[in-house]
């Protein structure tokens, strides 16, 4: 299964891809960013890319080094704002996000557009839980939560949301996105995800929805080391201990090269006690450029418990 953002999203467009790069439009801003998975030729010429783009990311000394591969510098080609907003009008009534973008020291800009299908899944499943138990709000935990689009989707659907990331600056960014989207009441946590999940398990805490989008490499606020290949299975085991045994959902997203949907399903099946009534789906998240070239970027595993 391959899923793409819906055509209703007018503030994002993948214009072209190829030769290890992608040409994207976020709102009115067009940028060139590295994309190792774009192994084919560009459809438009190099000069046309440069003519259209406002800014281009140039990989730095960390390119090719684990944990540093996205570092580099931005080359401005036209006048543009340092920060700007885009809107994600969801495919479902009530899902409508406003997200701030900006140029970071890495190639990221504050949103991963291919994640839109996951936002839709989170929103619909949170609404299902909220409508099924109107006396209490479903509790949703977003681990490795970055700038919070998934947290906002859960909040708009009626959840009591806990948003966790190890980097204080991106948690502040997420709080700004919450306010820009007209929301409030999200619980913010700056902590190592593994430590938090293990502590919640010891306390007997349960969540009705858990979202995980772990990086290949990372560090907690106190220097804790995260390496996906070594830590993911234990992380999922901890998640299994804090996910409600029924009437719940989980989303796992993985960007690491070499990971497949089948591998993700096996990890989830072996780490969690699925129980009766559990349904699992998996696949790839991808973007289509204007010329019909599909660019796969991550794999997902989604679990629902009746």
Domain tally, the chain:
2
Determine phi and psi for 199, rounding to 5 degrees.
Answer: -70, -40
Is 283 exposed, middle or buried (CB count within 10 Å of its CB: 0-12, 13-18, 19+)?
middle
274 and 158 share a domain? Answer: yes
Stretch 18-29: mean pLDDT, rounded? 98
Per-residue tokens: 113:
């557009």
Does 50 reside within a domain?
yes
The per-residue pLDDT for 276 is: 82
Structure confidence by residue, pLDDT tens digits, 210-261: 999 999 988 898 888 999 999 999 999 999 999 999 999 999 999 987 899 9
Look at phi and psi of residue 64 and say left if phi exceeds 0, alpha if psi is from -120 to 50, else beta. left
pLDDT at 64 over 60: no
Please name every residue paired with 286 in a beta bridge, in sequence order, or none if there are none.
296
194 and 231 share a domain? Answer: yes
Over the Cα atoms of the chain, what is R_g?
Answer: 19
Task: Identify the sign of the CA torsion 147, 187, 155, 227.
Answer: positive
pLDDT at 67 over 70: no
Cα separation, 201 vs 185, whole angstroms:
23
Give the model's confidence band at 105: pLDDT under 50 very low, under 70 low, under 90 confident, else very high. Answer: confident
Is 202 exposed, middle or buried (CB count within 10 Å of its CB: 0-12, 13-18, 19+)?
exposed
The three-state secondary structure class of 180 is: helix
Cα separation, 283 vs 117, whole angstroms:
11
Does 232 reside within a domain?
yes
pLDDT at 26 over 60: yes
The per-residue pLDDT for 134 is: 80
144 and 67 share a domain? Answer: no
Q: In percent, how much of the chain has pLDDT > 70?
A: 97
Q: Give the CATH number for residue 188.
A: 3.40.50.150
70 and 136 share a domain? Answer: no
The per-residue pLDDT for 258 is: 84
Q: By residue range, what is the domain housing residue 22? A: 2-86
Q: In percent, how much of the chain has pLDDT > 90?
A: 88
The per-residue pLDDT for 44 is: 98
Stretch 192-203: mean pLDDT, rounded? 97
**Number of CB atoms found within 10 A of residue 114's CB:** 23
The per-residue pLDDT for 242 is: 98
The per-residue pLDDT for 70 is: 67
Is 91 exposed, middle or buried (CB count within 10 Å of its CB: 0-12, 13-18, 19+)?
middle
**Number of CB atoms found within 10 A of residue 244's CB:** 16
196 and 284 share a domain? Answer: yes
The per-residue pLDDT for 110 is: 97
- Predicted model pTM: 0.95
Q: Bigger pLDDT: 276 or 11?
A: 11
Give the model's confidence band at 62: pLDDT under 50 very low, under 70 low, under 90 confident, else very high. Answer: low
Contact between 226 and 214 (Cβ < 8 Å): yes
223 and 286 share a domain? Answer: yes
32 and 165 share a domain? Answer: no
């Amino acid at each position: 299964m391959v899923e793409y953002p819906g055509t209703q999203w007018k503030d994002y467009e993948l214009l072209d891809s190829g030769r290890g790069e992608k040409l994207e439009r976020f709102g009115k801003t067009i940028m060139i960013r590295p994309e190792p998975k774009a192994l084919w030729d560009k459809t438009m010429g190099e000069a046309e890319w440069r003519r259209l783009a406002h800014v281009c990311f140039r990989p730095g000394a960390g390119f090719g080094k684990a944990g540093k591969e996205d570092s580099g510098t931005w080359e401005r080609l036209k006048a543009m704002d340092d920060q700007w907003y885009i809107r994600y009008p969801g495919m479902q009534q009530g899902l409508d996000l406003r997200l701030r973008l900006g140029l970071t020291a890495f190639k990221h800009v504050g949103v991963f557009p291919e994640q839109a299908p996951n936002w839709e899944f989170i929103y619909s499943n949170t609404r299902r839980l909220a409508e099924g138990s109107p006396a209490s709000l479903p509790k949703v935990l977003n681990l490795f939560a970055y700038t919070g689009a998934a947290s906002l989707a859960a909040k708009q659907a009626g959840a009591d949301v806990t948003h966790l990331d190890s980097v204080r600056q991106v948690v502040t960014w997420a709080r700004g996105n919450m306010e820009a989207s007209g929301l409030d009441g999200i619980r913010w946590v700056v902590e190592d995800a593994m430590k938090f999940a293990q502590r919640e398990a010891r306390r007997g805490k349960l969540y009705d929805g858990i979202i995980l989008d772990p990086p290949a490499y990372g560090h907690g606020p106190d220097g804790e080391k995260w390496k996906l290949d070594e830590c993911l299975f234990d992380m999922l085991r901890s998640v299994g201990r804090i996910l409600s045994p029924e009437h719940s959902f989980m989303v796992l997203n993985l960007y690491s090269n070499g990971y497949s949907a089948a591998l993700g399903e096996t990890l989830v099946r072996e780490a969690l006690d699925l129980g009766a009534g559990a349904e699992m789906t998996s696949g790839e998240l991808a973007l289509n450029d204007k010329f019909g070239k599909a660019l796969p970027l991550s794999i997902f595993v989604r679990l629902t418990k009746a």
